[in-house]
């Protein structure tokens, strides 16, 4: 995926269609001078509908389309003819898109399946024609309902990447290097913090033409749950990963402490993230000898499976894929 084309947040202004007015028509024919009311109902205003599309990976197509409008319903007419409904406006989005109210930020719905449709702005109802108001005491009502107004307001669409494995770590932990080593993805790699400014996806091949999707998520820093660094903008992507691969470099001053900081940031953002299956990869392990490896092993978390790897030399990458596959199947 070209990172320049990856957009995971857009704010759009939606205006659904107004309902058509009901008709006040009176039946008038050659031999029926006073035929009574026969006004039809107005048509419904068009909805604005969000539809899931599994072929899409980004909200780029909405980046420069800030205003979305649906058609108004048509007014009713004589002979009890109902007006045509306003045409709905369809917005196609990737699987994993969340819709929020633009002011309250309340979650309206989440798109989780291909073809799933949800109304983000409801069209106004058409007004009733005068035939509905005829009674024994009022044989010729000369009034009908106006159509209801549609909904208008700002909506937020956020994309949470759907991947099997999410890479979690501080900046420069080697996440992009690993993704480039085990997949065909080409993330930007450099020796400075926040090289990765957008999530990158890669398809990792396994045995017998099987594969899984790995997501390189921009680095977390302490305080990310409060929006520090790239913070909240990317923590949401971790929510939709099946499992999490924590990555900490072998030259870190305190691997166990870094792991606890990362876990704490996820917990403060969303405690449910701690329920996900997780692995720990000690990166840049090509610089370790057997003695140093054993020393580090003594400090690692007891309940989290771990592995020493080097994405540059390929050390233990096949074993890492086997561990990931086993956890995904389990």
What φ, ψ does residue 12 adopt, rounded to 5°?
-125, 150
Which helix H or strand E contains 67, and what residues bound it? strand 67-69
Average of pLDDT values for 104-116?
93
326: which residues sit within 8 A by CB, 6+ positions away?
none
Full set of structural domains in the chain with CATH = 1-159 (2.70.210.12), 163-329 (3.40.50.300)
Query: Would you say 3 and 218 are in contact if contact means Cβ atoms under 8 Å apart?
Result: no
Task: Return d(Cα 304, Cα 317) in angstroms, integer.
Answer: 18
Query: Would you say 126 and 19 are in contact if contact means Cβ atoms under 8 Å apart?
Result: yes
Average of pLDDT values for 155-176?
83
pLDDT at residue 240, as a whole number: 75
Poorest-pLDDT segment among 79-88, 136-145, 196-205, 264-273: 196-205
Band the pLDDT of 108: cuts 50, 70, 90: very high
Task: Return d(Cα 239, Cα 315) in angstroms, integer.
Answer: 29
Kindly state the percentage of the chain with pLDDT values over 90: 48
Query: Would you say 265 and 231 are in contact if contact means Cβ atoms under 8 Å apart?
Result: no
Query: Would you say 171 and 74 are in contact if contact means Cβ atoms under 8 Å apart?
Result: no
pLDDT at residue 161, as a whole number: 73
């Amino acid at each position: 995926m070209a990172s320049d084309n990856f957009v995971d947040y857009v704010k759009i202004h939606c205006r659904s269609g107004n309902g058509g007015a009901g008709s006040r028509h009176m039946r008038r024919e050659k031999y029926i001078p006073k035929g009574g009311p026969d006004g039809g109902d107005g048509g419904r205003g068009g909805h604005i509908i969000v539809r899931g599309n599994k072929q899409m990976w980004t909200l780029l197509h909405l980046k420069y389309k800030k205003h979305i409008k649906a058609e108004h319903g048509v007014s009713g007419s004589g002979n009890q003819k109902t007006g045509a409904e306003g045409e709905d406006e369809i917005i196609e989005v990737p699987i994993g898109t969340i819709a929020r109210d633009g002011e309250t930020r309340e979650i309206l719905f989440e798109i989780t399946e291909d073809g799933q449709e949800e109304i983000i702005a409801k069209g106004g109802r058409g007004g009733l024609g005068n035939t509905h108001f005829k009674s024994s005491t009022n044989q010729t009502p000369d009034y009908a309902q106006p159509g209801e107004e549609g909904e208008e307001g700002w909506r937020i669409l956020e994309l949470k990447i759907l991947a099997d494995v999410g890479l979690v770590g501080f900046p420069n932990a080697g996440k992009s290097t690993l993704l480039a080593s085990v997949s065909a993805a080409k993330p930007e790699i450099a020796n400075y913090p926040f090289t990765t400014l957008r999530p990158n996806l890669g398809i990792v091949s396994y045995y017998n033409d099987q594969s899984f999707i790995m997501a390189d998520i921009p680095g977390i820093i302490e305080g990310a749950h409060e929006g520090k660094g790239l913070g909240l903008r990317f923590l949401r992507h971790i929510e939709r990963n099946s499992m999490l691969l924590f990555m900490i470099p072998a030259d870190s001053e305190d691997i166990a402490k870094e792991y606890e900081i990362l876990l704490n940031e996820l917990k403060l953002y969303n405690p449910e993230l701690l329920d996900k299956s997780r692995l720990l990869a000690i990166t840049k392990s090509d610089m370790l000898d057997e003695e140093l490896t054993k020393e580090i092993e003594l400090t690692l978390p007891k309940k989290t499976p771990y592995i020493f790897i080097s994405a540059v030399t390929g050390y233990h990458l096949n074993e890492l894929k086997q561990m990931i596959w086993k956890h995904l199947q389990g």
